[in-house]
Chains A and B, each alone.
Chain A
Amino acid sequence: MVDFSNQTTMKGFFAPTRFEADVYDCEVVGKIPPELKGAFVRLGGDWFYPPTSQEDSPFNMDGYLGMFRFKHGIVDYKGRWVKTPRFKADRKAHKQLFGVYRNPFTDDPSVHGLDRSVQNTTPLAFAGKLFTLKEDSLPYEIDCNTLQTIGPWDFNGKYKSLTFTAHPKVDPVTGEMICYGYEATGLETNDVFLYTINKQGVVTRELRFKVPYISMVHDIGLTQKHVIIPVFGFVTSMERLKQGKVHWGWDSTKPSYVGVVPRDGEAKDIRWFKGPERATVHTLNARTEGEKVILEAAIYDSNPFPFFPPIDGSPWDPQKARAYIRRNTFNLNSKDDGFTEEKLFQMNVSDLGRVDDRYLSLPYRYAFTAYSDPKRPFNEARAGNLKGRVSNCYGRFDLATGEVSSYFVGDTHSLQEVCFIPRSKDAPEGDGFIMGVASNYAEMRSELIIADSRHLEDGDIARVILPFRATSQVHGRWMGEDQLPFA
């Protein structure tokens, strides 16, 4: 018997949606730009069975893929669970067998040793294949037309880390993918394996090193010469796991470390810089300028996630869970381990920011991300009293001038992560479309927003309407017809 009635936060718009879906020829308000040929693929999670603990993390939800397929100006939608061994085991048992986030000690003994990954973070198109990514396990290959789960992929046995990041970087110049796994040799290990994989999907380089302390290494920065590795406040221990807690807790006494290593360097070449309490969960972009390595990201002052609580028992502080677009500069000629930090914009934003991927690792000008503008209207009668608590705008942040141009989604909506799609392969930087899914709280449905990145103030040029609530998303990516063998 499935019972979500005692899940106090899974109500209304946030109640589980437990079905798979096909919607052919979706309702469209506006006109789909003819340049859009491919698919917007989004990955997130939903609870198929309720979690075993109210203390669990939403990052433990079962993975769910949604795909908006664009072809001839028509959009079809398909939604499928990622059929991991864990998902199948739960289905067979008709209940949740797995305990809290990344803690196998809390699992039902019947699933001991089974891959407990939920594959719920980032979709990836690489070397002609579609993958789902979750940082606690290998990538899972997915059929890009049916969204059926094929299974884990280890790059023909050449990828040795037990884990694979949710944020690999594809170098737009070489087509290579720079990726890594942390806790690479198992639970509670401080090993990181860093890989270069060529555009054919062949592992060409491996670098093994250790981080200053075991922590969440969720994302990295990539330049043409260096890899930047942020390590910050989330900590774990075997003792903690045996106490039945979620994998991560926050230790505010831990300094932030940022490792900088040449792309062709060895472990001895890594230089660790040390900074104040921060959380660099996601990065925007990075570049090397002479002896300076520069990282830009929406960085939190402190712990952004209340479900990974402070280990000292102090309350989680929402005031510090705010992200600002900042620039960290690491001087390779410096004699100490410090670095400089600048706040580039004074407004707090979603840390799920994106850039024009053609400029990844290179000098660039524009960043895109969502944010909450409290001056915009919010219709509390129709959408509930979440004013100021949800993102209602996408912004284009001009890092050269400091200007922000803004798209407002409407007074009953909330925006998920933004994605940028160039208008054409040779279009200028930032010239194209922004895309992302909006939650329409009034109509209890999800809408895919498409807006012209040059005219955000004009509103969207098209909305693809789903007649239901799509599962919540972590990350979404545009995948062109030249990237995957779409039918």
Chain B
Amino acid sequence: MTCRITRRGFLGRLAVAGAAMGWARLIPCGVLLGSALDSRVEVVSFHMDQPYLDPTGKAAPYHPPSGARSASPVAHLSEEAFRSSQAYA
């Protein structure tokens, strides 16, 4: 069973983490900054209400693999075949 994190759940955890960071101001800044600078700047984004990590740091929008979803799987259909299943698409 996979544990899925929702957008709201993630933001809730982020808020808790933020509060914890506020409390941690007592910790010397160099300790926190040092660990942050060691890692790449990754960006959290969302797709279909699920967070994912953009490792490029460019906050590029997520593009699904071609044909994997959306309207791609039916795009090859003839007009007749397409409208046979979708009278009012």
Interface residue ranges, A against B (CB under 8 Å): 8-14, 57-59, 305-307, 315-316, 318, 321, 350, 352, 381-386, 389-390, 412, 414, 416-417, 439, 441-445, 467, 472-474
Q: Which of A321, A389, A412, A444 contacts B89 (CB 8 A)?
A: A389
Interface flags, B46-89, vs A, CB<8A=1, else 0: 01110000000000000110100111111101011111111111
Instruction: Determine how close the nearest CB of chain A comes to the CB of B64; give it in whole angstroms.
Output: 7
Instruction: Determine how close the nearest CB of chain A comes to the CB of B63; give it in whole angstroms.
Output: 6
On chain B, the residues within 8 Å of A414 by CB distance are: 89
In whole angstroms, what is the CA distance A58 to B83 when docked? 9
On chain A, the residues within 8 Å of B73 by CB distance are: 11-12, 14, 384
Interface residue ranges, B against A (CB under 8 Å): 47-49, 63-64, 66, 69-75, 77, 79-89
In whole angstroms, what is the CA distance A473 to B89 when docked? 9
On chain A, the residues within 8 Å of B47 by CB distance are: 443
A390-B89, A416-B88 known; A382+B82 contact, CB < 8 A: no
In whole angstroms, what is the CA distance A156 to B82 when docked? 42
In whole angstroms, what is the CA distance A361 to B47 when docked? 47
Are A11 and B74 within 8 A (Cβ)? yes
A12-B70, A306-B84, A321-B83 known; A384+B75 contact, CB < 8 A: yes
Q: Which of B63, B64, B71 contacts A386 (CB 8 A)?
A: B71
Where chain B touches its partner, the secondary structure class is: loop
In whole angstroms, what is the CA distance A307 to B82 when docked? 10
Are B64 and A382 within 8 A (Cβ)? yes
In whole angstroms, what is the CA distance A285 to B25 when docked? 69
A390-B89, A444-B48, A445-B48 known; A306+B70 contact, CB < 8 A: no
Q: Which of B64, B75, B84, B87 contacts A385 (CB 8 A)?
A: B75
Are A385 and B83 within 8 A (Cβ)? no
Query: How many pairs of residues, A versus B, come closer than 8 Å at their CB atoms?
Result: 98
Instruction: Determine how close the nearest CB of chain B comes to the CB of A96; give it in whole angstroms.
Output: 16
Are B87 and A59 within 8 A (Cβ)? yes
Q: Which of B49, B66, B89 contacts A467 (CB 8 A)?
A: B49
Most buried by A among B49, B71, B82, B83: B71
On chain A, the residues within 8 Å of B66 by CB distance are: 381
Are A352 and B88 within 8 A (Cβ)? yes
Are B89 and A306 within 8 A (Cβ)? no
Most buried by B among A416, A441, A442: A442
Are A474 and B48 within 8 A (Cβ)? no
In whole angstroms, what is the CA distance A11 to B70 when docked? 8
Are B70 and A382 within 8 A (Cβ)? yes
Instruction: Determine how close the nearest CB of chain A comes to the CB of B29; give it in whole angstroms.
Output: 37
7 A-B pairs within 8 Å (CB atoms) are namely A9-B77, A9-B81, A12-B69, A350-B88, A389-B82, A444-B48, A472-B89
In whole angstroms, what is the CA distance A361 to B69 when docked? 44
Instruction: Determine how close the nearest CB of chain B comes to the CB of A390; give it in whole angstroms.
Output: 5
On chain A, the residues within 8 Å of B83 by CB distance are: 305-306, 318, 321
Instruction: Determine how close the nearest CB of chain A comes to the CB of B48; give it in whole angstroms.
Output: 6
A58-B85, A305-B83, A305-B87 known; A382+B63 contact, CB < 8 A: yes
In whole angstroms, what is the CA distance A453 to B83 when docked? 29
3 tightest Cβ-Cβ pairs between the two chains A and B: A384-B71, A9-B85, A11-B73
Are A12 and B72 within 8 A (Cβ)? yes
Are B70 and A389 within 8 A (Cβ)? no
Instruction: Determine how close the nearest CB of chain B comes to the CB of A19; give it in whole angstroms.
Output: 15
A316-B80, A382-B63 known; A10+B71 contact, CB < 8 A: no
In whole angstroms, what is the CA distance A341 to B44 when docked? 58
Q: Which of A13, A58, A315, A318 contacts B71 (CB 8 A)?
A: A13
Q: Which of B70, B81, B87, B88 contacts A384 (CB 8 A)?
A: B70
On chain A, the residues within 8 Å of B85 by CB distance are: 9-10, 14, 58
A58-B87, A305-B87 known; A318+B79 contact, CB < 8 A: yes
On chain B, the residues within 8 Å of A350 by CB distance are: 88
In whole angstroms, what is the CA distance A9 to B85 when docked? 6
On chain A, the residues within 8 Å of B71 by CB distance are: 12-14, 383-386, 390, 441
